[in-house]
Chains A and B, each alone.
Chain A
Amino acid sequence: MRATVWSGRNTVQVEQVPDPEILSDRDAIVKISSTAICGSDLRLYDGYVPSMTKGDILGHEFMGEVVEVGNGVGNLAIGDRVVVPFPIACGNCYMCVKGLTSVCENSNPNAGMAEKLWGHAGAGIFGYSSLTGGYAGGQAEYARVPFADVGPIKIENDDLTDDRVLFLSDIFPTGYMGAELCDIQRGDVIAVWAPGPSACSRSPARCCSAPSASSRSATSTTASTRHVRPVPPTSSTTSRSTCRSCSRS
């Protein structure tokens, strides 16, 4: 298959690589229909993330069609259309049971390496260096999805285009969680520093962080980190801001 591989600082290439195979009963193989480049991929591209190796397949925002399932994956069938979350999570460990799937204790085979840098290891992540498991990513024709009985979500409504659901894999929940962690309350002033579309996801003006921000009538300020400049709210009780990343308001 063809896949996007990291080839050193500021270099990626599309190369022919071996097709992925089922390695565990809980694996699935997904034929990818859409896959996005994330802002965090640019950190790999820049060469700031240690433990990248030339030939690593990039990509952690992807979706597609299930073409093969392991014997232990009872909830997916060949032909299902799925979006795959970027953290790989077993669903059974202490952290997964608490809902903290991005720090799953069973999905990072290189946990020892991560512990040396961070004290404890995080979960495995698709296409994001050996520190997060060294998994092949999704900027490719196919991907192996471990713990496929836990992660992928089926998209059963064919009217939903790939572009509408693809970002469930990362930036939409990331932006949403960013707002949720702030515990935003009525009357709060919100400022967002961000260079990319995750900020749109959490911008109160875009309403992606609706439960935390816009529904509680917070005052918002959005700033790109490239051009840090606040946009004054139009009123004290209505959320409105201009996102400098997408130039929409």
Chain B
Amino acid sequence: MPVVLKELTEAAARTRASTASASRATTSHTLVHGYDRVKQAARLETERGHALREAIFSCRNGGAVSIMGVYGGFVDKFPIGSVMNRSLTIKTGQAHVHRYLRPLLGRIETGEIDPSFVVSHHLPLDDAPKGYEMFKHKQDNCTKVVLKP
């Protein structure tokens, strides 16, 4: 990923990177991945930092990394040297939903945006345990479960 992005950014002004729920990133071929897995199994590290580290390493000098999703505690091996020496900007936060409600509802009303495309499954509330398992393991191409009480 970093190599491909480097090629893409050769002719571009800047790179912006954004991560969501990157704490659940699972794919990695790095030694750090093994380190994360061991520490998480022992509950000594609460986050999986692979996607976050990769987003930082991939971001071009002077670019911005926007971190969304959810992080609860601590991540190891955070590459602060890469952030500082390459003048990256990091911005993050739980969404300040209230300030987006009216403008985004307006866009839904005009038909400009229809977020319903993310829904893959509707289940009765009583099937919530099944919904969690399906969503966790991405069974049956599960992208989003809506429960109906």
Expressed in whole angstroms, the Cα–Cα distance for A160 and B98 within the complex equals 20
Question: For the side of the interface on A, what is the size category?
Answer: 35 or more
Partner of A102, one of B18, B93, B136, B147: B93
Interface of B is mostly: mixed
The A-contacting residues of B in range 98-144, CB under 8 angstroms, are 98-102, 104-105, 107-109, 112-120, 125-126, 128-129, 131-132, 135-136, 138, 141, 143-144
Contact of A189 with B136 in the complex, beta carbons under 8 Å? no
The A-contacting residues of B in range 44-83, CB under 8 angstroms, are 46-47, 50-51, 54-55, 58, 60, 64, 66, 68-70, 72-73
In the complex, chain A residues whose CB is within 8 Å of the CB of B16: 182-184, 188-191, 218
Partner of B148, one of A34, A83, A101, A153: A34
Contact of A225 with B24 in the complex, beta carbons under 8 Å? yes
The B-contacting residues of A in range 175-209, CB under 8 angstroms, are 175-179, 181-185, 187-202, 206-208
State the Cβ distance, B96 to closest chain A Cβ, in Å: 5
Interface of A is mostly: mixed
Task: Report how many residues on chain B are interfacial, defined by Cβ distance under 8 Å.
Answer: 81
Contact of A194 with B21 in the complex, beta carbons under 8 Å? yes
Q: Is B13 an interface residue (CB 8 A)?
A: yes
Partner of A139, one of B22, B107, B125: B125
Q: Is A42 an interface residue (CB 8 A)?
A: yes
Partner of B136, one of A42, A87, A99, A153: A42
Q: A: which residues have CB within 8 A of B?
A: 2, 4, 11-14, 32-37, 39-43, 45-46, 48-50, 83, 85-87, 89, 91, 96, 99-103, 117, 122-123, 125, 131, 139-141, 150-151, 153, 155, 157, 160-179, 181-185, 187-202, 206-208, 210, 218-219, 221, 223, 225-230, 232-233, 236, 245-248
**10 more A-B residue pairs beyond the given contacts A197-B144, A219-B12, A246-B118, with a C-beta to C-beta distance below 8 A:** A12-B129, A153-B102, A155-B105, A160-B108, A167-B118, A189-B16, A191-B55, A194-B18, A194-B19, A202-B20
